[in-house]
A and B are shown apart, each in its own frame.
Chain A
Amino acid sequence: MHNNLDINVHHITRVEGHGNIVVNVKEGKIEKLQWQVPEAPRFFEAMVRGHSYQDIQTIVSRICGICSITHSLAATKAVEAALGIKVSEQADKLRILMHYSEQLQSHTLHVGYLAAPDFFGTPSVVPLVARAADAVKTIVKAHRIANGWSDLIAGRTTHPVTLIPGGLTRTPTEKQLRELQQTLKNAVPDLKKIAEVVLSVAGNVPKFERPTEYVSLKQTTPPTYTFYHGGITSNDNKGAALPIEKWHDVTNEYMVEQSTAKWAKWHRDAYAVGALARFNNNAELLSPMAKGAAKMFGLQKGCCNPYMNTVAQLVECFHIVETSIDLIDQLLTKGLKTEKVISTPKAGKGAGCVEAPRGILFHEYEFDKKGNCVAADICIPTNQNHANIQKDFEKLLPEILDQSEKDIRLKLEMLVRAYDPCISCSTHFLDVQFVR
């Protein structure tokens, strides 16, 4: 047991967007324990005001470089809800396919580049390449497949260009979809290899449990492990799903002193979103291979170990690939058509919701009769997880206080990483000093 402990994982150099872990223990008593997010407000909502309904998805795709397709899809769905625009079955399926590509991109990145170094005991992915070259190469290959998949359907790996209200500007050819399907079939052995590698170090996943509320989408018609359609549910909501328009009743956003980012709560004082939330609410609807992967890791519905979010992401990778292979079959069986999309502006207000890789995401817009945006409201998954991270800290620290300072720090950092918060994607990539 530490009598005195002072941990301050502090980010001091970034212009915008960072998170701090602060721990103060004095004479064996925890005096301060905080997950702080002193992030500069981004005001993206103000930025879309005045813009045409046709431009919203392009602007908001820049909110995040990891979840750009997801933001574009949520925005497009909200615009379509506001203006009463219908989408064809083909466009709907292609969008789901596009969305899956980003889920696979993000999940492989998270498992391979962010979580794996912890499991292998290396400080980052750079030294991991030397330590586990084959594993890293397999991860890179899977990530590369996901990127090529996004290129095909979204027109670009990041910041999609094919999405418009009412449909898509481009339909892939039958040949392209068949090639994609074959690539996904070929990727299955690689996913199995990744799962085996992660399983070999899964003993390093901390044993920690804290029951909480898990919030995600739920689709009942037809019953689907959904990332795209459905209503809002939680394990506290007795299986019922709220319509998307009621999302404010779920998030109940509020301000706290320790963070400039908003926090959220529904039935309890905090809730979690993300892969583990989706798994806990919908696990019985996973594809057969995904169920097999969950079994391999002993991941069961009701799991309340937040560190297992990474494993849930890996399980979802199998579901995404297996389901997409089937989705392509459905598209090809029906036959691809070139679709012309026409939409007309009108006044209206609407909400759109999809599952981002790191949890449920809400967009809401209001338009005037010319179709120009007059109000916008966005609630990202990371903000919905902040309170839950804090509550996890509060239960975790007393349980590990007898461990070394290094181990305590690592476990707190790993916990944050398990949620993969979106706290800094808008900053530039280089700060340099010239050495020659």
Chain B
Amino acid sequence: MTDQTHRKDVVVIGLGNPLLSDEGIGVHLIRKLSEHQDKFPSVEFIDAGTGGMNVLHLIANRKKAVIIDCVKMGKKPGTIKRFEPADVKTTKKMMHFSLHEADILRIIAISRQLGECPDQIVIFGIEPESLELGQNLSKTLSNGIDAYLDDICNELC
């Protein structure tokens, strides 16, 4: 069983669906970051895929959470932007028809209300170029991988 009392202080969560090209950038980056686990002993890297509300539990009672996701920000495709929840407002329309919808900003709001939200939450949003069906990233995002990893690793140092 996952023991919440012995968790690492920092969690890095990659979100997205790697079957929809750039939609899976968070998962692709977590796979790369996990290869460097020995450099970050107090950090847990988690591929959370499209687990939605499960993020609530993954961030609970940590000191810091870093979330990596494909984000529509109206920027040039391939752009990576570091922001915190207070820097943005959601423009996502929720139907509340299904559990399959999720909005990380709302999950963070619930976490705060429950009194278990990390002191710091950082989101690395990467603007997608393609959300077509396919297991490969677009060339634009693929070429940016090393730079994205540098930005995220700097955040963890």
Contact = CB atoms under 8 A, between A and B. Distances in A.
A13 B87 contact: no
B113 A426 contact: no
Interface in B85-129: 86-106, 109-110, 113-114, 123, 125, 128
B53 interface: yes
A148 B1 contact: yes
A436 interface: yes
B154 interface: no
Interface string A150-170: 011000111100000000000
Residue from A63, A430, A434 whose CB has the most chain B CB atoms within 10 Å: A430
A11 B93 contact: yes
A430 B104 contact: yes
Contacts of B134: 47
A63 B100 CA distance: 11
A100 to B, nearest CB: 14
Contact of B69 (A133, A176, A423, A428): A428
- In the complex, which range does the number of interface residues on chain B fall in? 35 or more
Given A158-B51, A424-B98, A129 B110 contact: yes
Interface string A24-62: 000000000000000000111011000000000001011
Given A13-B92, A436-B87, A423 B100 contact: yes
Contact of A62 (B17, B87, B105): B17
B17 A417 contact: no
Interface in B131-157: 131, 133-135
B52 A425 contact: yes
B47 A159 contact: yes
Interface stretch (A107-115, A259-267, A348-356): A107-115
Contact of B48 (A61, A158, A426): A158
Given A62-B49, A124-B94, A431 B72 contact: yes
A149 interface: yes
B88 A433 contact: yes
A401 B49 CA distance: 42
A152 B56 CA distance: 18
Contacts of B94: 124
B52 A176 contact: no
Contacts of A114: 96, 98-99
A147 B55 CA distance: 11
B17 to A, nearest CB: 5
A47 B133 contact: yes
A280 B1 CA distance: 33
B78 interface: no
Contacts of A423: 97-98, 100
B103 A430 contact: yes
9 contacts: A19-B97, A43-B133, A66-B100, A117-B96, A126-B106, A159-B49, A421-B97, A429-B69, A430-B92
Contacts of B57: 140, 143-144, 147, 157
B114 A434 contact: no
Given A147-B57, A158-B51, A429 B99 contact: no
Contact of B99 (A62, A66, A117, A180): A66
Contacts of B125: 430, 432
Nearest to A113: B53
Given A68-B49, A432-B91, A435-B89, 12 more contacts: A42-B133, A63-B19, A114-B99, A151-B1, A156-B47, A158-B48, A424-B101, A425-B100, A428-B131, A430-B71, A430-B105, A430-B125
A285 interface: no
Contacts of A11: 93, 95
A429 B15 CA distance: 8
B73 A432 contact: yes
Interface string B32-45: 00000000000000
Given A424-B101, A426-B20, A432-B88, A12 B49 contact: no
Contacts of A430: 69-72, 90, 92, 103-105, 123, 125
A211 interface: no
Contacts of B123: 430
Given A19-B97, A140-B114, A417-B98, A428 B105 contact: no
Contacts of B103: 429-430
A403 B58 CA distance: 43
A110 B99 contact: yes
Contacts of B48: 157-158
A433 B91 contact: yes
B95 A59 contact: no
A376 interface: no
Contacts of B47: 156, 159
A15 interface: yes
A64 B100 contact: yes
B1 A149 contact: yes
A165 to B, nearest CB: 20
B5 interface: no
B100 A424 contact: yes
A429 B97 contact: no
B134 to A, nearest CB: 8
A194 B52 CA distance: 22
B11 to A, nearest CB: 13
A423 to B, nearest CB: 6
